[in-house]
Structure formats: structure tokens, C-alpha cells
């Protein structure tokens, strides 16, 4: 007589996902928010995400079918739509995704339960504030905003002078505050003695304080991206959280002069952790990668 195969009801041991992420992403330049998620682990045929209120807060439910069900999936990554704040009020957005522990729950192709827990926080790190761009006496003067040919307000590019090696080094202020606390102050706070935030041609820049008040968890890393518009040329680096300057290498600068009319766009992303937390059963849910905020900017090579 063949012994029965234990299924979910047979208390078969659960399998832990290798990675389980759920986090908010802010583009502070464009003014939009989204929620991202990632699960990675053994091959599975079903996966769902349940929020702090259990089944009433199930936000995702995926079932593989036919050949894909037999083959199994091992990695899933998604990004939500990211409408701008005038299309979707940030308060409405955050009401859709309350803070708390979210559970990734699935079933492997061998009918084992597979799961992972992650804490979603509404403490959004403030986006990095660019401090200096390139060499020269004027590299710390934020150019602010300008009117384009159609009368629209847009970000003005810095003017940069490469250093002796042909690189352009960009520095930024260390991120230590939440977006809410940074912008929920009147007058706006100074950072290290200088107010590096500039407004449009007619009035100072104002931002909607996003998320909730609180101190973000430690910075896990910064990501620095430099690219030449309308080309595939790009330089990307993920750097430690205590590093607040990075260079656009001379090779990209040379390409910008020949392919990009002397202009380079760059983006700085800050990524914080989720912090260690206990779940409802008193078990430890270890910190993992959490919310991230980005700022986009550009520089033109000085003639």
C-alpha cells in the first residue's frame, strides 16, 4: 500500500521565500508614488499577498495555468502604476496600502506552502538633495527652475566643469529625515547651513509632505545613474549608505560631448531598510530592503 502524500492539510513543512519585498517608491522630481513588490524562491504555481487585515486586504492573487503551472515560477517582480499627485491624491494612495505586516503566501509545484513576511512602512525617506556638481567655484549653486520655450516651469541643469581626470563628481546631502518631516515645516529647514532647495521663477518650491512622520530606518544603499538622453549609454552604481558622492566617469562625459550635446541626466535613489519587527505570534520578522525615494537632475558641460 502506497503511503499518502502529505498536502497542506497534512501539516507539511512550509518553505520560506528567499526574498520577499513590498515597498513604496517616490519620484520626488516628477511627483509620483507607486508600490513595488518582489518574491523569489522555490518554484511555485500560486502566489498571493495579504495585508494586515488578512483576506479583507488581499492585494494580489496569481495562479499559473497549464504548462506554466507544471513548470512553476521562481521570481516575481511588479510595479504599480504611478500617477502624478494631481491625478491621484497621495492620501488616497496611502489609504489603499496601510502600514503593517504583509504576507506573501503561495503553493509550490510540490504542493508545499511557501511564504514570506515583510513590513510595509509609510515613513518615506526624503529624496537626496544635490549639493555640488563638478569642479569650479560655482558648482554648489543650485540652478533651480526655469521657463521653457512654451512657458512651462522645468528643472534647470547645473553647469559642470570636469576635474583633472575628466570626471564630474556629484555630491548630495546624507538622507536622515522622512519626506513628511522635511517638508512639514515652515519656514523650510536648512541643511547643514544652506538651503539647497530652490523654487520656480515666481515662487519658492513647495512639496506635499508625504507619508507619516518618523525617522527612516538606516540607509541600505544609494543608487546613482547617469545617462545621455536619447541614447542607450548609461552608467549605474549601487554604493554604500555612508557614501554621499559619486562620479560620472570621463568616458560618459566624452560621449555626452559627441552624442548628447554636452548634457548628462542623472538620478540619485536612496533605499532604506524595513527594520526588525515582531509579528502577531511574537516571531521576529527581520529587516529587509524597504522604501526608496529618487531625485532626477541634469548638468551641462561648461564651454
CATH number at residue 81: 2.60.40
Tell me whether residue 125 is in a domain.
no
- pLDDT on residue 75: 94
Whole-angstrom distance, CA of residue 93 vs CA of residue 35: 9
- Residues 140, 271: one domain? yes
Cell numbers 504542493 label which residue?
111
Tell me whether residue 283 is in a domain.
yes
- Residues 185, 238: one domain? yes
Contacts of 144 (CB under 8 A, 6+ apart): 156, 198, 199, 200, 205
- Residues 61, 189: one domain? no
Looking at 88, 120, 152, the residue that finishes a domain is: 120
The CATH number of whichever domain residue 159 belongs to comes to 2.60.40.10
Positions of the chain with pLDDT under 70: 1-12, 54-55, 137, 148, 151-153, 186-206
- pLDDT on residue 55: 62
Looking at 120, 140, 173, the residue that finishes a domain is: 120
Alpha carbons within 13 A on the beta-carbon side of 68: 9
Tell me whether residue 1 is in a domain.
no
Strand 113-120 and strand 100-108: the pairing is antiparallel
- Residues 151, 13: one domain? no
Tell me whether residue 2 is in a domain.
no
Looking at 100, 120, 140, the residue that finishes a domain is: 120
Query: Containing domain of residue 87, as a range?
Result: 8-120
- pLDDT on residue 294: 97
- pLDDT on residue 291: 98
List pLDDT tens digits, range 177-227: 999 998 887 555 444 444 434 444 444 556 889 999 999 999 999 999 999
Tally the domains of the chain. Answer: 2
Whole-angstrom distance, CA of residue 173 vs CA of residue 196: 9
Cα dist from 180 to 3, 210, 213, whole Å: 59, 5, 6
- Residues 147, 264: one domain? yes
Tell me whether residue 3 is in a domain.
no
- pLDDT on residue 54: 64
- Residues 41, 70: one domain? yes
- Residues 211, 157: one domain? yes
- Residues 177, 71: one domain? no
- pLDDT on residue 125: 97
Whole-angstrom distance, CA of residue 38 vs CA of residue 79: 9
- Residues 143, 60: one domain? no
Whole-angstrom distance, CA of residue 52 vs CA of residue 50: 7
- Residues 151, 239: one domain? yes
List pLDDT tens digits, range 221-243: 999 999 999 999 999 999 999 99
* Burial class (CB within 10 angstroms; exposed 0-12, middle 13-18, buried 19+) of 264: buried
- Residues 28, 160: one domain? no
- Residues 137, 283: one domain? yes
Amino acid at each position: 500500500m502506497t503511503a499518502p502524500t502529505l498536502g497542506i492539510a497534512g501539516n507539511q513543512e512550509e518553505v520560506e521565500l528567499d526574498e520577499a519585498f513590498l515597498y513604496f517608491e517616490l519620484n520626488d522630481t516628477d511627483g509620483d508614488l507607486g508600490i513595488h513588490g518582489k518574491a523569489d524562491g522555490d518554484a511555485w504555481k500560486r502566489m498571493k499577498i495579504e495585508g494586515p487585515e488578512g483576506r479583507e486586504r488581499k492585494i494580489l492573487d496569481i495562479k499559473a495555468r497549464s504548462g506554466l503551472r507544471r513548470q512553476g515560477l521562481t521570481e516575481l517582480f511588479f510595479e504599480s502604476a504611478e500617477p502624478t499627485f494631481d491625478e491621484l491624491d497621495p492620501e488616497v494612495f496611502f489609504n489603499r496600502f496601510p502600514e503593517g505586516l504583509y504576507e506573501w503566501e503561495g503553493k509550490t509545484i510540490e504542493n508545499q506552502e511557501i511564504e514570506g513576511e515583510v513590513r510595509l512602512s509609510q515613513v518615506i525617506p526624503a529624496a537626496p538633495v544635490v549639493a555640488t556638481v563638478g569642479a569650479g567655484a560655482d558648482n554648489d549653486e543650485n540652478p533651480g527652475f526655469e521657463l521653457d520655450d512654451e512657458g512651462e516651469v522645468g528643472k534647470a541643469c547645473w553647469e559642470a566643469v570636469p576635474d583633472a581626470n575628466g570626471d564630474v563628481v556629484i555630491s548630495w546631502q546624507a538622507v536622515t529625515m522622512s519626506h513628511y518631516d522635511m517638508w512639514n515645516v515652515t519656514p523650510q529647514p536648512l541643511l547643514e547651513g544652506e538651503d539647497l532647495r530652490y523654487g520656480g521663477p515666481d515662487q519658492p518650491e513647495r512639496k506635499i509632505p508625504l507619508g507619516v512622520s518618523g525617522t527612516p530606518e538606516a540607509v541600505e544603499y544609494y543608487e546613482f545613474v547617469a545617462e545621455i538622453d536619447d541614447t542607450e549609454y548609461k552608467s549605474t552604481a549601487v554604493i554604500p549608505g555612508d557614501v554621499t558622492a559619486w562620479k560620472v566617469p570621463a568616458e560618459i562625459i566624452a560621449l555626452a560631448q559627441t552624442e548628447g550635446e554636452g548634457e548628462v541626466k542623472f538620478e540619485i535613489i536612496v533605499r532604506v531598510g524595513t527594520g526588525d519587527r515582531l509579528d502577531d505570534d511574537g516571531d521576529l520578522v527581520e529587516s529587509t530592503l524597504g522604501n526608496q525615494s529618487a531625485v532626477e537632475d541634469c548638468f551641462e558641460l561648461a564651454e
